[in-house]
Amino acid sequence: MAVASVAVPARAFTVRPIFDFDMTDVQQDRTLAVESLAPKLADLRIELCPSHMSEGCFWKIYFVLLHPKLTKKDAEILSTPQ
């Protein structure tokens, strides 16, 4: 999966969703992997969290925007707890 090649505009993160996103330990590990591959995304998270939104909210928005850009195989891998 080419995480670093997925461009998500900063303005996509400016809407405050009603529900937060409680991540499992596996999902938190995946966010660390994403940030290691995409340092600009890590910078954006640091800029927005927690002053504008929670980290859970940030990652919920990220994964919702990412999902349509994934191949079917990558989407299946991302949705499994392994």
24-77 pLDDT per residue, tens = 888 888 899 999 999 999 999 999 998 988 888 899 888 889 889 999 998 887
Cα–Cα distance for residue pair 51/2, rounded to 1 Å:
29
Q: Per the domain annotation, does 13 fall within a domain? A: no
The total number of structural domains in the chain stands at 1
In a domain, 16, yes or no: no
Tell me whether residue 58 is in a domain: yes
Predicted local distance difference test score (pLDDT) of residue 81: 63
21 or 31: which leads in pLDDT: 31
Burial call 59-73: b when 16+ CB within 10 Å, e when fewer: bbbbbeebeeebeee
Taking the model in full, what pTM does it have? 0.67
Q: Is residue 59 part of a domain?
A: yes
Side chain identity at residue 59, one-letter code: W
Parent domain of 28: 22-79
